[in-house]
Amino acid sequence: MARMTSSDALAGLRPRLPSPLKEAVDARFERHGVRLLLKRDDLVHPELVGNKWRKLAPNLAAAGGRTVLTFGGAYSNHLRATAAAGRLLGLRTVGVVRGEELADRPLNPSLARCAADGMRLCFVTRSVYRRKTDPDTLAAVLRAADAEDALVVPEGGSNAAAVRGCVELGRELAGAADLAAVACGTSGTLAGLAAGLAGSARTLGIPVLKGGFLTGEIRALQTEAFGGPRGAWSLDERFHHGGYARVPADLEAFAADFEQRHGVPVERIYVAKLLHALVTLAAEGAFPRGSTVAAVITGRPFP
């Protein structure tokens, strides 16, 4: 198969870029003299939403027609987006799923969608999954998946290519806001966003997992992608709401209320935590009066 170029990948995926940037008039910000913008990256592509498209496109181009193998949990949006991209571009995809016990159960809706899009699902034990970056373990996984020549994309899609793919997101926001905020899982989006912002604007990351490990990850990703740190960024670790995929009742109520106020679908695992954090920070006086905050809407609820 002829090697796929970056322009081929872009043409095949047909993204809507730049994504829309719209003001959200909200009294919870206005009373503190803060203007809220929503960067609607959820509208980039109907199946490869927001940062999934921005991170995947460079990796898909690099695959050159080879199999793409990647990793995720049972409800991974990254796996779902990779499977959809494989269907759209005619690429073979393999998803390595954390939890061997899941192989004996009916597929949940997320994994069923991956399978319907042609992704081969390989279930591994949690101990093997934890060692997935070990060369010997990875080689064994590739052999078991019959994908030894595959392009390996890390969990969440965050690598140097993905970070460079997210730089354009920062460039699209440059000059529009004093602060750009994004929810963080594996931190590749933040690493690229911060690099793309210009001038005095800074980037705020809201981790959706407990653990406090992302600072080192962001530094490592920026070093791999650019040779060193880029942009002014910080993290606020307080808004994980119990950990990844935890959506307590108060967060669910907040998300439903935001949807009603602004007519914007709010994805619960990432976007709800980001928006809740910004409302809380505004109330705490974290943003100077007269400032503009842009919230990057990286995803939307899957059916």
Which of 251, 214, 236 minimizes the C-alpha distance to 286?
Answer: 236
Q: Label the pairing between strands 233-235 and 202-207.
A: parallel
pTM: 0.92
3-state secondary structure of 98: strand
3-state secondary structure of 117: coil
Q: How far apart are CA 292 and CA 286, in angstroms?
A: 12
pLDDT digit of tens for each residue in the chain (303 aa)?
344 444 455 566 778 999 999 999 999 999 999 999 999 999 999 888 778 889 999 999 899 889 999 999 998 889 999 999 999 999 999 999 999 988 889 999 999 999 999 999 999 999 999 999 999 999 999 999 999 999 999 999 999 999 999 999 999 999 999 999 999 999 999 999 999 997 889 999 999 998 888 999 999 999 999 999 999 999 999 999 999 889 999 999 999 999 999 999 999 999 999 999 999 999 999 999 999 999 999 998 876
Q: How far apart are CA 27 and CA 71, in angstroms?
A: 41
Q: How far apart are CA 254 and CA 284, in angstroms?
A: 17
Sign of CA dihedral 7, 11, 12, 13: positive
- Residue length, the chain? 303
Regarding the domain delimited by 6-47+158-296, which CATH topology (the fold level of the hierarchy) does it fall under?
Answer: Rossmann fold (3.40.50)
List pLDDT tens digits, range 37-54: 999 999 999 888 778 889
Q: With beta carbons less than 8 A apart as the criterion, state whether 35 and 292 touch.
A: yes
Residue 37 phi, psi dihedral angles, 5° rounding: -115, 145
Q: With beta carbons less than 8 A apart as the criterion, state whether 62 and 161 touch.
A: yes
* Cis bond before residue 18 (omega within 30° of 0): yes
Q: How far apart are CA 84 and CA 115, in angstroms?
A: 10
- The dotted CATH code for 67-149 is 3.40.50.1100
Q: With beta carbons less than 8 A apart as the criterion, state whether 153 and 159 touch.
A: yes
**Domain limits of the chain?**
6-47+158-296, 67-149
Q: Which two tokens stand for residue 94?
A: 């393999």
Given this chain, do its domains 6-47+158-296 and 67-149 carry the same CATH topology?
yes
| Sequence-distant (≥ 6) Cβ neighbours of residue 110 within 8 angstroms | 74, 75, 76, 77, 79, 80, 302
User: What pLDDT is stored for residue 92 in this prediction?
Assistant: 96
